Chain A
């Protein structure tokens, strides 16, 4: 079946603009995760969804970052008033409930000029 998909694959924006990043998880996966990968670094956890609720938002770097999920499907990560330090690859992953193996999407490469 289809894997995790993300859109857009690349996004270039100007400092101060808002951006929305989309994630379509694997069908039937109730758990969804967002991570950020800065150049040359490992992945940082941002937020976790179980269904459409977010029990853990501890990784969101600031109040400019928010995320939502509709049902057990699509999730959107929104970054308001983007800053240059927000430039990174944003990765989405999904998993079955109580399954520790996460399946990753190809990521969205965000560049803030």
Chain B
């Protein structure tokens, strides 16, 4: 079945450091890829997505490019802030019958940014 593998955490960085969180996937077909973020005490929020190969998703300074040849969707940010401290989840959509799209998640990566 489909699966998502994320870089193990936790990750601790200083403010303004460069961030990369690795994500690779295994899937049949052509899934859409997502990064979700969970801030402390809050629900899961969509951060960015890409629906086909070579698409780049971006939001709030974060970027990820859908790489079909390496089956990857690594999350990057050039300069992190303390407010980026959260758990980040990579996910892919799995087309179900009758228009549903189940999400398959990685295990999450805890990011802590220190001032």
Instruction: Give residues in A with beta carbon < 8 Å to B.
Output: 4, 31, 33, 35, 40-45, 48, 50, 55-56, 59, 91, 93, 95, 97-98, 100-107
Contacts and interface: CB of A to CB of B under 8 A. Distances in A.
Contact of A104 (B45, B96, B100): B45
Nearest to B45: A104
Interface of B: 4, 6, 32, 34, 36, 42-46, 49, 51, 89, 91, 93, 96-108
Contacts of A59: 102
Contact of A106 (B43, B100, B107, B108): B43
Contacts of B6: 42
B108 A102 contact: no
Contacts of A101: 34, 46, 49
A100 B32 contact: yes
Contacts of A93: 44, 103
Most buried by B among A43, A44, A56: A43
Contacts of B97: 55-56
A93 B97 CA distance: 18
A42 B102 contact: no
Contact of A48 (B42, B89, B96, B108): B96
B96 A42 contact: no
B103 A50 contact: no
A31 B97 CA distance: 12
A95 B51 CA distance: 16
B102 to A, nearest CB: 5
